Structure 1
Amino acid sequence: MPRRLHGRRRGASRWGGCLPWAAGFGVLLLIFLIWQFPSFKAQAELGSAYAARVGCSCRYVQGRSLDSCQTDFEPGMELVSLSDDPATKTVTGSVPLLASRSARYAGANGCLINPAP
């Protein structure tokens, strides 16, 4: 009579064969993120420049506080943070690890976005 094997088959992995699928999915996800990174970076540059310009106009043209200016952002701009430099009348909008742009108050011309470095 053949002896029955108890438990797992000999040589079967603990993951039951899911590890290759998970690794394959991880590689595909990594390829997708690398492919889309330029788009993410461009959107972050655009969003930070827009936030800096709106924040500068709100702060120095309208005379409001920077905290109240952040309520003027469009939906989806929650990642953009603003900082203020009163000495140079500059507002900087930044998306962590991706982009940072500044706008400065230019008197009668309003606020101008500083050129990208």
Structure 2
Amino acid sequence: MATGQVSEMRQRQPARWGRNLLLLAVLLVVALTAWSWTRLRVTARTNTALAAQTGCLCRFAAGRSLASCEADPAVKRDWVGLHQDAAARSLTASVPLLASQTARWSPETGCVMDGWKD
């Protein structure tokens, strides 16, 4: 093997190591996500239900603005977004790809979660 070929191979090795490390990191993230997916979904569903219920009460019972309710520590949760439907008097809390819960306001019953029965 010529000296030029050996030095060329040595120059390509760092790029190969970097690519392999990146692939290993991606595989590790995928494996950890798959391993904890059920726990993530349960946590997300619980947080969205709490945020939807509390946000609904804040928005429709207390009459505060959505921005004011989003800033409230009782409503604000990691990764949870709030969306209102003023015509239906409902508030939906969601975590992308994991969970979504909706609470609807009625003067007779207050805020009731969609799909939940007592």
TM class by shorter chain equals: 0.7 to 0.9
Which has the larger displacement, 13-22 or 86-95?
13-22
Q: Gaps (5+ residues) in structure 2?
A: none
The structure with the largest helix share of the pair is 2
Relative to the length of structure 2, the TM-score reads 0.74
**1:51·1:73 contact (CA, 8 Å) conserved in 2?**
no
Alpha carbon RMSD of aligned pairs, Å? 2.9
**2:103·2:111 contact (CA, 8 Å) conserved in 1?**
yes
- Deviating above 6 A after TM superposition, structure 1's stretches of 4 or more consecutive aligned residues are none
Residues 5-28 of structure 1 show CA distances to partners (whole Å, capped at 9, x for unaligned) of 357457557233624444334323
Q: Structure 1 residue 91: deviation in Å?
A: 0.8
Q: Gaps (5+ residues) in structure 1?
A: none
Distance 1:80 1:29 in 2: 22
Counterpart of 1:15 in structure 2 is: 13
Distance 1:36 1:112, change over 3 A: same
Counterpart of 2:85 in structure 1 is: 85
Distance 1:76 1:68, change over 3 A: closer
Summarize the alignment of residues 1-117 of structure 1 with structure 2, pairs less than 5 Å apart.
5-6=3-4, 8-9=6-7, 12=10, 14-16=12-14, 18=17, 19-74=19-74, 77-115=77-115
Q: State which structure, 1 or 2, has the greater radius of gyration over its C-alpha atoms.
A: 1
Query: Residue type of the partner of 2:23?
Result: A
**2:55·2:75 contact (CA, 8 Å) conserved in 1?**
no
SS at match of 2:30: helix
Relative to the length of structure 1, the TM-score reads 0.74
SS at match of 1:115: coil
**How many pairs are equivalent?**
114
Distance 1:66 1:9 in 2: 63
Q: Structure 1 residue 50: deviation in Å?
A: 1.1
